[in-house]
Structure 1
Amino acid sequence: MPPGFQQDNAMTEATFAPRVFSGIKPSGGLTLGNYLGAIKRFVEMQGGDFETIFCVVDLHAITVWQDPEELKRATREVAAGYLASGIDPEKSILFNQSRVSAHAELGWLFNCVARVGWMNRMTQFKEKAGKNAEKQSLGLYAYPSLMAADILAYHATHVPVGDDQKQHVELTRDIAAKFNHDYGVDFFPLTTPVIEGPAMRVMNLRDGTKKMSKSGESDMERINMTDDADTIAKKFKKARTDPAPLPESLDGLKDRPEAKNLVDIYAGLSGMSAEQVIAEHGGAGWGQFKPALADLAVEKLAPISSEMARLMDDPAEIDRIMARGAERARAIADPIVSKTSELMGLLR
């Protein structure tokens, strides 16, 4: 198993085969943050001693209004990003969430298990809703319950996530534990969040204190996975830095958010640790390091961008791959949801 995959509870180890589930929401386009924080790790997880299931979570996208045609395009683009980055639909199950009705059905069943107090503690709703919480959709408030269903519909034992999503996996564990307790079973695993890697939280190229976002005001703040080689290089060369050169040790990056972000990105793209990056480039000025980072990013990302463009020119092929993945997903999820209903006393 990759680093970070510890079996942290006896029930998971004894009862459930190792299975990974994760997904990305199709809204706003894919960024370098999606690649380093998620997709690159997904690719590395393929072919191990566990089954890998990756999803485009389009039901989560509609918690806020989406233009229907744009949502279709964005869903295909996320799938293209998966495929272009190396997700193999023969090694992994790849599909879009709405093709598998088990997600929505189990989401409702979990709405009846989860507690309102648990939802009130979800920090992402507070951040997204802001002062207009009363005007938000019920779906936006309750979507952590659907996220739990996404995971537990497959009895997933591990979920690769960033720090900002860890709370949702903890909620998934709470729902699984309460269901098991309420119905006197060991039916759902207590899923383990997997948080690892030097660039788990990729920050804004213009403000290192803010996360790189699909919805930032300026396109120069982020690297889009659809950016071509020239655009990638330009953005890194113009990324905000401070006057001092790179330090000789990691301690020297403290209180230097832009410098730390660029070091972390270099580490994530190269497969090195941040310590190794500093050992190799410590003392270098930005006129030396940023071109080196730009060259590395172009080498790693430009082929993905080109392949995404090719795939998007053939949407029927993307749809075929996701439809086949959905068939495989239903074969796993439908019996689990059916058994859940039976345990709850519902006649099927």
Structure 2
Amino acid sequence: MFQRRVLCGIQPSSVPHIGNYLGAIKKWIDLQNSGDNLVVMLADLHAVTIPREPETLRKSVLETAASLIASGIDPKRSIIYRQSDLYHHTQLSWLLGTLTTVQKVGHIPTYKSKVKDESSIPLGLFLYPILQTADILLFKTTHLPIGEDQIPHLQLCTYMIEKFYHYYKKNIFPVPQMMATETNRIRSLRHPEQKMSKSDIEERSRIDIMDDEKIIQERVMKALTDFNAHVSYDREQRPGVSNLIDIYAGMTDQPIESIVAEAQKDNMNTGAFKKRLAQIIIEHFRPKRAEYLKLMNDRSYLLSILDNGRERAKEIADSTLNEVKDIMGFN
């Protein structure tokens, strides 16, 4: 009944780090190359649940777009666009907001984890899950490549679909299916008990995928491990070394057991393993970085790609929003 469509969303926070790449972007490219119908949304509205410096936001959108395209997202095969270019997101979010309650949204764990002071909750942060549901339903998304931390948001989306049907007796939205990724979550290079994050003030904690080769080499070599030079995998007892093995597995698609066995066969210590991993990362991203720099040096061309993506996304969004408004009595 519904055309298969995959929605991929990413907040524009400059160049994605290697954890973003292995956990999401690489999967999106595989889906695109296997023939899936992809919509790639630069979620700049979600990026301003609290205010951001305007110039930083503008620059981050372009850097994220250039990174995705350089990595393999093909604007001819997939739609890539800025969320804020379509008013449909916020209008549908408002309409869907009539179908749920403050209590329902307030129980979402990912929202609650970001609230530090319950007496001063940013409204944008509170409404974030409803806007996220609008993003999904606007394209009648059938599949979502998301992690387990997004399951509560998917459940809210399903709840709103059921509420819409209950009130209006129209089945116009597919219930989206989760496409779980098998990649282990990449951890901080300096604090492997934490996930890799752009919000970490210590830049050595991560590798951004368009970093130059010297930075990649330095950050891998200085990644925190332990006093045991033996290469083995144990996320509880040896989180630092295990994190590097996870990155190696993500970059090469090799099973973890095979990587460890190969390192032990070659009598490789952690220092030598780091050198090999750094070279793998550098060689993988070298052509992508060249393409990224080319795109960033041609701002007008990059903006034209996003403009074209907006028009293609708008065709779908116009149809969905008009259908919803007609059912609800606005047309």
TM-score by length of 2: 0.94
Letter in 2 for 1:38: A
- Which residue pairs with 2:162 in the alignment? 177
Alignment deviations for residues 181-211 of structure 1 (CA, whole Å, 9 cap, x no partner): 3322221111112112323x21100111101
SS at match of 1:58: coil
- Which residue pairs with 2:151 in the alignment? 166
- Which residue pairs with 1:277 in the alignment? 259
Residue 250 of structure 2 is aligned to residue 261 of structure 1: no
| Separation in structure 1 between the aligned mates of residue 189 and residue 61 of structure 2, nearest angstrom | 26
- Which residue pairs with 2:83 in the alignment? 97
CA change 1:281–1:253 in 2 (3 A) is: farther
Residue 286 of structure 2 is aligned to residue 302 of structure 1: yes
| Separation in structure 1 between the aligned mates of residue 237 and residue 152 of structure 2, nearest angstrom | 26
CA contact (8 A) 1:125 1:141 kept: yes
SS at match of 1:46: helix
SS at match of 2:187: coil
Question: Could you tell me how far 1:299 is from its partner in structure 2?
Answer: 1.1
SS at match of 1:291: helix
Residue 114 of structure 2 is aligned to residue 138 of structure 1: no
CA contact (8 A) 1:198 1:273 kept: no
Question: Could you tell me how far 1:304 is from its partner in structure 2?
Answer: 2.4
| Separation in structure 2 between the aligned mates of residue 277 and residue 169 of structure 1, nearest angstrom | 35
Aligned partner (choices 222, 227, 244) of residue 243 of structure 1:
227
What is the aligned-residue identity percentage?
Answer: 36
Alignment deviations for residues 256-281 of structure 1 (CA, whole Å, 9 cap, x no partner): 22122111111111122323322322
Matches within 5 A, 1:1-348: 15-27=1-13, 29-130=15-116, 132-199=117-184, 201-244=185-228, 245-247=230-232, 252-282=234-264, 284-345=268-329, 347-348=330-331
| Separation in structure 2 between the aligned mates of residue 306 and residue 49 of structure 1, nearest angstrom | 26
Which residues of structure 2 form unaligned runs of 5+?
none
Alignment deviations for residues 288-318 of structure 1 (CA, whole Å, 9 cap, x no partner): 2111111111111233233222211111111
Letter in 2 for 1:176: I
Alignment deviations for residues 189-245 of structure 1 (CA, whole Å, 9 cap, x no partner): 11112112323x211001111011101121100111231011001100110012232
SS at match of 2:38: strand
- Paired positions, count: 328
Letter in 1 for 2:250: G
Alignment deviations for residues 35-64 of structure 1 (CA, whole Å, 9 cap, x no partner): 111111111111435311101011111111
CA contact (8 A) 2:14 2:59 kept: no
Question: Could you tell me how far 1:121 is from its partner in structure 2?
Answer: 1.7
SS at match of 1:95: strand
RMSD: 1.7
CA contact (8 A) 1:55 1:94 kept: yes
| Separation in structure 1 between the aligned mates of residue 261 and residue 168 of structure 2, nearest angstrom | 55
Question: Could you tell me how far 1:29 is from its partner in structure 2?
Answer: 4.2
| Separation in structure 1 between the aligned mates of residue 218 and residue 115 of structure 2, nearest angstrom | 34
Letter in 2 for 1:41: K
